[in-house]
Amino acid sequence: MTKRLRASCLFGLALLAAIGLSALQRAPEAAGDSLTGVVASATGPEAGVWVIAETDDFETSFRKIVVTDDAGGFLVPDLPAADYQVWVRGYGLADSAKRAARPGDSLDLTATAAATPHDAAQIYPANYWYSLLEVPPASDFPGTGPRGNGIGTAMKTQADWIDRMKDGCQLCHQLGNQATREMPMLDLETFDSTAEAWNYRIQAGGAGPAMTAEINRIGRPRAISLYADWSDRIRAGELPPAPPRPTGIERNVVLSMWGWGHPQGMVHDNVSTDKRDPTLYPGGPIYGVGGAGLVVTDIATRQSIRMDLPTRIERPRRSNSYQGSSTAVPSLYYGDESAGLISRGAHNPMMDGKGRVWITQSVRPAEVPAWCLEGSDHPYAKYYPIQHQAESRQISSYDPDTEKFVLIDTCYFTHHLQFADDENDTLWLSGSTEAIGWLNTRLYDATGDERAAQGWCPTVIDTNGDGVITKPWNEPSAAGDVEIDPARDTRIGSLDKFRRAYGVIPHPDGSVWISRRFPVPGQLVRLELGDNPPETCKSEVYEPPYDPTGDPDDWGYGPRGIDVDTNGLVWTALGGSGHFASFDRTQCAVLNGPQATGQHCAAGWRLYQTPGPRMKGVDGTANADYHYYSWVDQFDALGLGANVPIATGTSSDALLALLPETGEWVTMRVPYPLGFYSRGLDGRIDDAAAGWKGRGVWASFNTGSTFHLEGGKGTTSEIVQFQIRPHPLAE
């Protein structure tokens, strides 16, 4: 800073003190449980910056975060009695000094400009840094392998590479945060090159085997070279573009956060209520599951517990990640230290109308039981015996009233789960490569018979156009390829684990929809049971518009999370291309038959490019963010309106809400601790008569590497409530 600039800053601060903040903005009146004040710097009030109030006085960590208004004013509402540290973070600023305060206080906070652009960039979201990665140009595809251009031979196009890179690397944690871009956990001077350091880094810890497999798939030599170049350029001083500060509705966001989980155990997803009726269980606990157990947090008492999940047969202990096992390269954070956690592969929770939490998890060894296979007399196995004979995840339910678990075996692999609003309380489950499964929970509750209560249907499309599904049909190969006999129907799917059904959602018309990620561009599949399943089951397939030679705004790829609004519009996050997409089946002129190949209903799709910077060298629209899942706020739990879709911006520290009528994005950023990575979310209405205070959406820090979060080793996940108030100073 020059002497002249320093003198100017000092003069500005002195002027503020002389004229008093009332001439700029009078601080709002502080209620007994609120904190109020004004944030100002040498240049005047600071609008669109975050005020953070945090305390360690409770069993869990607790904080609230709000955004300043146009005049720098802030109001942190509804703080429980405690001693708080209050400070400011904002783009373009250095983090302010912390001030001690208690609810009811009014205090003015001084902000200071960041000393350099480099210092300012340290709090930018990970996707801004990741946008500096230069992907292989489209002209380098198809890949020719390690002895050719270093790109994997399965990567036929640039879109294949981006989609696999996102779903293989960004799938588990952010890329672009300090831990990945700079690798501070390594002494880089001990390596001959940054490429050697990257090669070592991806082999480390419990997730090492999975990371190694993924980078081999896209092409290890080329990928290592690109990541090393990225890190070298950043170390040499290259900076990303600056993100915008919150504006408009974004300044009305209130974040409340509780610490939960284990520093070496991820929380994969959370749930607070029954999706079909979000007014259930008001003020109740929030539940989170991950590979290493069930976490329960009482938000009122700020207490949290974690419990191991039971299983029918004991399985070996594993530590850091449910994605892999220990390797020859120890964890760069914990060495060979065991986390002491037992993994059951728990993935996703949902609640029912009885207050139970249903979980997809491993309850038995991977071998599929004989009653699911060829030769069984089970009616669904007789129609379609399960072919994939190693399925490692099934179902459990937890009853908070009795504190007991029930374990339920399934023939099919499970991943996500959703309840239908029907007389059977049908629980639909994604995950299988070859079929869509369900559990009649009312029948199971009445009989305890897990075999009689479950069914499944293969995803067979009516390619011959006769209106029914008949055997024999065209059967895909293990890799998913299929030779079409036009006189037959066709089963879509494979035994390739990368073609498993991912998202699942029941539709208001009685059908159920799933998403399949691979191959590019991915698929949405609609299953209709008919009057006499499984014989009357029939599927339809729809792919996002995909034409790399056309207008980049008109095509996309990589559907992951899937949900539906109350009008029947299906929403899916396109994690590869970086879109939020809606699909309206009523716009389709063709539903089945020889022409229904997947790319037959472009009229049904509408694509919305998600906000944030794009990666370098991309043909098309792929941005640097990654959208793990999507959710539709059917009942206006957040306050932006009914049927607003929300995507998780896992690398942008944000939830991304789309206002469909205007196409406007509302980016709800979590600025602290850096590293907010959410997979799933849900909304609960605690008190519809209480206005914004009785509503909220819940999401969690769901990274597979909690030690990558701001704070480093020892940091745990956080559960976050997002609320929208009428204006930034609403009490």
pLDDT tens digits, one per residue of 184-208: 999 999 999 999 999 999 999 888 9
Helix, coil or strand: residue 234:
helix
Return the amino acid letter for 470: T
**Exposed (0-12), middle (13-18) or buried (19+): which is 655, by Cβ within 10 Å?**
buried
Stronger pLDDT, 669 or 551, i.e. the higher one: 669
Distance CA 381, CA 713 (A): 48
- Which of 49, 74, 76 lies closest to 62 in space, CA to CA? 76
The reported pLDDT for the residue numbered 689 is 97
Mean local confidence (pLDDT), 665-677: 98
Q: Where are the alpha helices (DSSP H) in 448-598?
A: none
The reported pLDDT for the residue numbered 340 is 84
Distance CA 322, CA 447 (A): 33
The reported pLDDT for the residue numbered 425 is 98
- Which of 361, 358, 362, 357 lies closest to 347 in space, CA to CA? 361
The reported pLDDT for the residue numbered 112 is 98
Q: What share of the chain has pLDDT > 90, as a percent?
A: 83
- Which of 453, 305, 449, 431 lies closest to 359 in space, CA to CA? 431
CATH T-level topology, domain 1-122+249-305 = Immunoglobulin-like (2.60.40)
DSSP H or E segment with residue 446: helix 441-447
Distance CA 571, CA 228 (A): 36
- Is 249's pLDDT higher than 50? yes
Q: For residue 13, what pLDDT band results from cuts at 50, 70 and 90?
A: very low
The reported pLDDT for the residue numbered 493 is 84
- Is 7's pLDDT higher than 50? no
Q: What share of the chain has pLDDT > 70, as a percent?
A: 93
In this structure, is the dihedral angle defined by the CA atoms of residues 707, 710, 715 and 719, taken in order, positive or negative? negative
> Which tokens hold the place of 433?
């490569």
The reported pLDDT for the residue numbered 726 is 98
- Is 654's pLDDT higher than 70? yes
> Which tokens hold the place of 79?
């703080």
- Is 391's pLDDT higher than 90? no
Helix, coil or strand: residue 497:
helix
Half-sphere exposure in the Cβ direction for 565 (13 Å, CA): 18
Instruction: Tell me the pLDDT tens digit for each residue of 117-165.
Output: 999 999 999 999 999 999 999 999 999 999 999 999 999 999 999 999 9
Q: Are 635 and 642 contacting, i.e. CB atoms less than 8 angstroms apart? A: yes
Distance CA 539, CA 490 (A): 10
Strands annotated E in 352-441: 357-361, 394-399, 404-408, 414-419, 426-431, 435-440
- Which of 265, 174, 256 lies closest to 715 in space, CA to CA? 265
- Is 24's pLDDT higher than 80? no
Cα distances (Å, whole numbers) of residue 577 to 20, 387, 520, 561, 612: 50, 32, 10, 14, 12
Cα distances (Å, whole numbers) of residue 91 to 43, 50, 118, 337, 408: 15, 9, 12, 38, 49
The reported pLDDT for the residue numbered 26 is 44
The reported pLDDT for the residue numbered 314 is 66
Determine the distance from the C-alpha atom of residue 519 to the mean position of all C-alpha atoms in its chain, rounded to a whole number: 21
Cα distances (Å, whole numbers) of residue 548 to 156, 160, 709: 12, 11, 36
Q: Are 678 and 700 contacting, i.e. CB atoms less than 8 angstroms apart? A: yes
In this structure, is the dihedral angle defined by the CA atoms of residues 331, 333, 336 and 340, taken in order, positive or negative? negative
CATH T-level topology, domain 459-669 = Neuraminidase (2.120.10)
Stronger pLDDT, 663 or 292, i.e. the higher one: 663
Where are the CATH 2.120.10 domain residues in the chain? Answer: 459-669
- Which of 34, 128, 48 lies closest to 88 in space, CA to CA? 48
Mean of all residue pLDDT scores within the chain: 91
Distance CA 579, CA 457 (A): 30
Distance CA 636, CA 685 (A): 9
Instruction: Tell me the pLDDT tens digit for each residue of 457-499.
Output: 999 999 999 999 999 999 988 766 778 899 999 999 876 666 7
Instruction: Tell me the pLDDT tens digit for each residue of 511-549.
Output: 999 999 888 999 999 999 999 999 999 999 999 999 888
Distance CA 169, CA 322 (A): 15
DSSP assignment of 681-707: EEEEES-GGGGGGGEEEEEE---S-GG
The sheet carrying 414-419 orders its strands as 414-419, 426-431, 435-440, 454-458
Instruction: Tell me the pLDDT tens digit for each residue of 684-722.
Output: 999 999 999 999 999 999 999 999 999 999 999 999 999
DSSP H or E segment with residue 562: strand 559-564
Across 396-400, 548-552, 666-670, least confident range: 548-552
Mean local confidence (pLDDT), 643-649: 97
Determine the distance from the C-alpha atom of residue 477 to the mean position of all C-alpha atoms in its chain, rounded to a whole number: 31
The reported pLDDT for the residue numbered 497 is 66
The reported pLDDT for the residue numbered 31 is 66
Across 235-249, 362-376, 386-400, 494-508, least confident range: 494-508
The reported pLDDT for the residue numbered 319 is 43
User: Which residues pair with residue 109 across a beta bridge?
Assistant: 39
> Which tokens hold the place of 274?
């029954």
Phi, psi of 498 (to 5 degrees): -75, -5
The reported pLDDT for the residue numbered 498 is 66
Q: Which residue has the tokens 């205007």?
A: 662
Residues 6+ away with beta carbon under 8 Å from 92: 113, 114, 120, 242, 245
Distance CA 80, CA 270 (A): 24
Q: Are 125 and 243 contacting, i.e. CB atoms less than 8 angstroms apart? A: yes
Mean local confidence (pLDDT), 39-68: 98
Helix, coil or strand: residue 144:
coil
Q: For residue 15, what pLDDT band results from cuts at 50, 70 and 90?
A: very low
DSSP assignment of 249-266: GGGGEEEEEEEESBTTB-
The reported pLDDT for the residue numbered 2 is 35
Stronger pLDDT, 146 or 11, i.e. the higher one: 146
- Is 4's pLDDT higher than 50? no
Where are the CATH 2.60.40.1120 domain residues in the chain? Answer: 1-122+249-305
Which phi-psi region, left, alpha or beta, contains residue 340 (left: φ > 0; alpha: ψ -120 to 50)? left
Distance CA 562, CA 543 (A): 13
